[in-house]
A and B are shown apart, each in its own frame.
Chain A
Amino acid sequence: MPMMSKNPSVDELDGVAREIRKSIVRMITKAKASHIGGSLSAADILAALYFRILSIDPKDPEDGGRDIFILSKGHCCSALYAALAERGFFQKGKLDEFCANGGSLWGHVSRGCAPGVEATTGSLGHGLPIGLGMAIAAKRSNQKRKIVVMLSDGECDEGSVWEAALCAAHFRLDNLTIIIDYNKIQSFGSVKEVMNLDPLAGKWKSFGWEAREIDGHDMGQVVGVLEKLPLAAGKPSVIVANTIKGKGISFMENKLEWHYKSPTPEQCEAAIRELDNAKGKGGSA
């Protein structure tokens, strides 16, 4: 990792995202685990959040006024663990404990498993209600902290997401933001085939949220929208981030099987090579 400036540039953040992706590929290969595709699609947004947007201190992860990030798509925890390690919440060596016997990092996010992990997720549809409660607590305690929750697209099938959607708008929680990692592929097929969500941003708008659509791999757009939070006073914000499942590894991009498969050692090497070669080419791929 090169020395990072206090307010990293878009190019620097692209570099962070590449490092996060490399950790994801190594972790999932080593653990023979699943969910690499959705972890890779979230990497750019996590880089922006942890290195520029969130007010957090890796040396004081429990600081009472910190911003909160909840990865509600908890199956993509390798991306979260990689981002936290990259940001210095713990040593990168701890990533070896991912899905390892006797280790601390489960294959779904568990609160307390590592510094900086804010909420237990893994069963879909849980992260947003938890974030909503934290947002109300912050309002009631006159804290300025922001609460950011990342959802998967398939997760929007869950009823609890829409219960919380109603509730957050009703209570005017403008300290609550969700980012939907809209990579368009869920567990058993494309989102369109399994349970169509379109128009996704329109649904949230009709629930009273302020919505924006961005390219979730264009770091300029990612940072641009996240620096404008809240998008509207008195309303919760939703960012529909159009992304690509498996982003950054050409042979994984947009392929359903990479929801499940873990790379062979050879595929891992090829993936790391591709990420290294992408340096300086702009964007993360």
Chain B
Amino acid sequence: MRNTFADTLTGCAAKDRKLMLLTGDLGFSVLERFRDSFPDRFLNMGISEANMIGAASGLALGGMKPYVYSIIPFATMRCFEQVRNDVCYQDADVKIVGVGGGLAYGTLGPTHHAREDIALMTSLPNMTVVCPGDPVETELLTKLSVSHQGPMYIRLGRGGDPVIHQSRPDVEIGKGIMVKEGNDATIIATGNILPNALAATKILEEKKMKVRLISMHTVKPLDADIIRKAAKETDALFTVEEHSAINGLGSAVGDALHAQGSKAMFRKIGLKDRFEQVVGNHEYLRQANGLSPEQISSAVLEARKTLRK
């Protein structure tokens, strides 16, 4: 996803002379093309995220269109108050691009894992939060972000995320994408866990369950309509996210269902409320959190058993 993002943004920068890219000294072997194509509009701000976010807001107030790039905890948490005051409160046109969604940085450890970022960013007024599910969504959402006015957080995976959309879907910020039809249950996924959610629906299909899959690439503003429709047309809803199950996509969908007065069965599948304790790579840690395709499909089956009783 990060290479798709960088290539797409480089293309956009050729058309928009206000577009700038700031990095907190990260992006080796990813951002060079932008840097070499637009040296005047590429700023390595050094390892100083508070200053970088503040400066980005100043650039935006000064008429530029800055994108800020770093690993998620550094881009959102180290400088949270700058994101809150300088970007969101001032409603500055700053795009914050975080790499390493969820456990993508695997063995680098919990300091580099992103498990609270969606909670933090969605809680901020004026902030739009998008989590592309694959490189295709990354490309399309990056392009849409350029014409979007105002603060936005773009949560990317890392490198090598598989392509899910075989054709180019209609993508609109704030509208979920129906990836797969089905009426037995609905899985709503956000971000780089989308491939596992899709794989889970395939396992369930072998077990004669037709599961609807929605890629909820925008967590804020949330697409309440697609949730309402799924709650009416399917028996049970499941959210899948590589983020704490506290205050992420699942909580947002739960709030929407509650507000809609829905009686549909609903379960959240996400990261456990703990820092990872055992070293492991991305797939290993997903497994440790019940996020492998097999585990997701089992969770759906188990929950639906209780529904029948």
B55 touching A136, Cβ below 8 Å = yes
Query: Is residue A167 within 8 Å, beta carbon to beta carbon, of the partner chain?
Result: yes
Query: Is residue A38 within 8 Å, beta carbon to beta carbon, of the partner chain?
Result: no
Cβ contact of B46, chosen from A120, A123, A133, A167, cutoff 8 A: A167
Main SS class of interface, B: helix
Interface string of B88-130 (1 = CB under 8 A from A): 0110000000000000000000000000000000000000000
A123 touching B85, Cβ below 8 Å = yes
B55 touching A130, Cβ below 8 Å = yes
Q: How many chain B residues touch A (Cβ–Cβ < 8 Å)?
A: 29
Q: How many chain A residues touch B (Cβ–Cβ < 8 Å)?
A: 31
Provide the residues of chain B in CB contact with A123, threshold 8 Å.
81, 85
CB B183 to nearest CB in A, in angstroms, measures 49
A133 touching B48, Cβ below 8 Å = no
Cβ contact of A166, chosen from B48, B59, B82, cutoff 8 A: B48
Provide the residues of chain A in CB contact with B50, threshold 8 Å.
125, 129, 159-160, 163
Interface string of A119-133 (1 = CB under 8 A from B): 110110110111111
B55 touching A129, Cβ below 8 Å = yes
Cβ contact of B58, chosen from A64, A132, A160, A163, cutoff 8 A: A132
Cβ contact of A134, chosen from B46, B53, B59, cutoff 8 A: B59
Also in contact, A130 and B41, with CB within 8 A (given A120-B86, A138-B62): no
| Besides A133-B57, A133-B60, 20 new A-B residue pairs in contact (Cβ under 8 A), listed by A number | A119-B61, A120-B85, A129-B52, A129-B55, A129-B58, A129-B86, A130-B57, A132-B58, A133-B56, A133-B62, A133-B66, A135-B58, A136-B58, A137-B61, A137-B64, A140-B20, A160-B50, A163-B50, A164-B55, A171-B43
Which 5 pairs, one residue from A and one from B, show the smallest C-beta to C-beta distance? A133-B58, A129-B54, A137-B62, A163-B51, A163-B48
User: Which residues of B approach A to under 8 Å, CB–CB?
Assistant: 20, 40-41, 43, 45-46, 48, 50-64, 66, 81-82, 85-86, 89-90
